Structure formats: structure tokens, C-alpha cells
Amino acid sequence: MWLTEKFGLSVPVVGAPMANVSGGQLTAAISAAGGLGMLGAGSAVTADWIRTEGAVAAASGRPYGVGLMAWSVKAHPEHLDAVLELRPALVSLSFGDYAPYVGMLQQEGIVVAMQAGTIADAREAIDSGVDVIVARGAEAGGHGRNAVATLPLLQAILELTDLPVLAAGGISGPRGLAAVLAAGAVGGWIGTAFLTCQEALTPEPVRRRVIEADETDTVYGTVFDAASRAGWPDEFGGRALRNAYFDTWEGREQELKTDDAGHDDYVAGVRAADPARTSIYAGQGVGALTAEPAAADVVAAFATYRTYLRAAIE
């Protein structure tokens, strides 16, 4: 399998790069357990944060990756500089004009991935010369498109290209991993399943809310982006847990962009880790989370996917 052979993994799992969740400790723990951890370098971090957390991630001695957003790199080129210095095994570069950076990364021996939410996205990725495509379905937590579910998107992209394709969205355990591998994916791009891990940066009140949530509690939109004023393009909304703040502002996103009181309320909610006011990005697999495990235990659970693959074949 391309993913495991390329990076020397024992489990075909990539830990999705989640801003404010995937710091160096979680990244290192996933890699040490046999998957490929990824650092979530959000737009608000500094280049020094990337360097520091990258060093923590690299300390496992195992391959790891970093996730960047193209729109943020344009505003913060120092983020790309820091990643080029670190030379991780994999860099995910999506959401905006990423094409100018692909060759730069590849020249340093870095494998480049792009998250595609439609066939048009995948064609653009192929034309840009990326090494691997992530078929990111609408079920997935965090930012991306809400256009196509994981399984139909995965099948269509696999028909489109011979490039390796990872599947993202709704893969909450080994059964889901077995399903996408059987379809032809080289691995799973897993985010939500790691949200409440002991090594994650997730604040305790947010962890409790995530554990309480079921599969119907997520919502997709741009409310939290309008509130944060971080710079996310409206083209890419995010899937998160529905809360009172989202309900208050849904349908009023343009107004929220210039409403200072609404912005201040959101910022205060983030600082307090108040589940009613902060953004808690999670996918539809969130209902499977019931505890705060070590990342190694989550990876070990995914490693049992072979049982379900064999059962399907028999």
C-alpha cells in the first residue's frame, strides 16, 4: 500500500492537521504509534510556534507532516519558510491558490497533499502536480466544502486519477477505515477520532462537549469564520458542533463580519473555552467519541481494520 510503504507506517492512518488540536505532542504520539501525525498550523500561529511544535513532533524519530492553508500562507509566507526549514515528510496545502508552493516543497523532498471536496478540486490538484489527493467528504469536521459525501467523492476521484488517494470524512473507527481501503483509498485521513486524545490541545470544557455530542449535533457554515475574522474565504465553510452562538448568527454572517460586539463575544468564548460560544470543529463521526484515550490507543483500534476487510471478502 502506497501510504504505509512511502512513510514506513504500520497503520494506514494520517492524523488530520487540526488547528488548536494537533500540536507537537499529538502529532508525535500518532507517528510513534504507527500512523502519520500532522501538525495543525493555523493562521494565528507564529513561525516560531511551527518550528517549536515541529521539533516536538520530530522527536519521535518517525515521519510526520504539517498542514497549511494556501490563503494563510499568502498572508504569512514565514509559515512556509518555517516548514521548509523543518522538512517534514508530508505537507498538506489546500484552500486557496496553493499551486505556487507545490514545487518549492517537492524540491526539498517533501510529499505534497491537497484536500479536494469536488472533482473540479481534484482536477486542479492533478494539474498543479501534487503527490497525493485527499478526498475530503462533506461529513468531515473542520474546513472544506459541503458539496459531496465521502464515498461518492472517493469513488469518482479514484476513477479520475492514478495518484494515491486518501479518504477523509466520517471515518470514526476500523470499520470505516476498512470500507475506504476496500474502495481503493491508500489510507484514512482521520481528524475527529483524535479530538479528545490526552495529547491533544483541546481544552477540557470542549472535550466534555465533544464526548456528549452525537452524530446529529454538527452543522456546516461560515458563522465562526465571520466571527473570528481570521481570513477564511467564504468558499470554504466549516463543520462544527452546533451551539447557541451559531444559532444566533446563522443567516447573518455578513452582518457579523462588521459587528464588533459579536466578534468580541466570540473571542471571549474562545478564550474561556465556552462550548456555547466557541467553535468546536468536528465531523459526523463525533458520536463515536466516549472517552479521552491516548492517541496510541486510537491508532491501535484503527489497526484492527484487517478483521473487517477479511469479513467483507469472505
pLDDT tens digits, 76-87: 999 999 999 999
| Average of per-residue pLDDT across 70-80 | 96
What whole-number distance in Å separates Cα of residue 114 and Cα of residue 165? Answer: 10
Residues 40 and 147 in one domain: yes
pLDDT band (50, 70, 90) for residue 12: very high
107 within domain boundaries: yes
Q: Are residues 192 and 212 in the same domain?
A: no
The two most distant CA atoms of the chain are separated, in Å, by 60
Among residues 187, 193, 177, which one has the least CA distance to residue 305? 177
300 and 152 together in one domain? yes
Task: Kindly report, residue by residue over 115-126, the tens digit of the pLDDT.
Answer: 999 999 999 999
Total structural domains within the chain: 2
112 and 68 both lie in a single domain = yes
- Other beta carbons less than 10 A from residue 77's beta carbon: 12
> Is 278 within a domain?
no
What is the mean predicted confidence (pLDDT) over 243-258? 98
For 133-144, what is each residue's pLDDT tens digit? 999 999 999 999
In the chain, alpha helices (H): 2-7, 24-32, 47-58, 70-75, 77-86, 99-107, 119-128, 150-160, 174-183, 204-212, 223-228, 244-249, 253-256, 260-272, 295-302, 305-313
pTM assigned to the model: 0.96
pLDDT (tens digit per residue) in 178-226: 999 999 999 999 999 999 999 999 999 999 999 999 999 999 999 999 9
Range of the domain at 231: 204-272
* Percent over 70 (pLDDT), the chain: 99
Residues 113 and 212 in one domain: no
Please state the rounded mean pLDDT for residues 145-171: 98
Q: Is the dihedral of CA 300, 306, 311, 312 positive or negative?
A: positive
pLDDT of residue 186: 98
pLDDT tens column, 29-66: 999 999 999 999 999 999 999 999 999 999 989 999 99
Judge if 231 and 306 occupy the same domain. Answer: no
Residue 310 pLDDT level (bands cut at 50, 70, 90): confident
Tell me whether residue 280 is in a domain. Answer: no
224-256 burial by CB neighbour count: b if 16+ within 10 A, else e? bbbbbebebeeebbbbbbbbebbeebeeebeeb
Domain check: are 181 and 222 in the same one?
A: no
Whole-number average pLDDT of the chain: 97
Is 62 among the domain residues?
yes
**pLDDT attached to residue 191:** 98
pLDDT of residue 313: 67
Q: Please, are residues 87 and 106 in contact by the beta-carbon 8 Å criterion?
A: no
Phi and psi at 229, nearest 5°, equal 60, 30
Q: Do 132 and 149 sit in the same domain of this protein?
A: yes
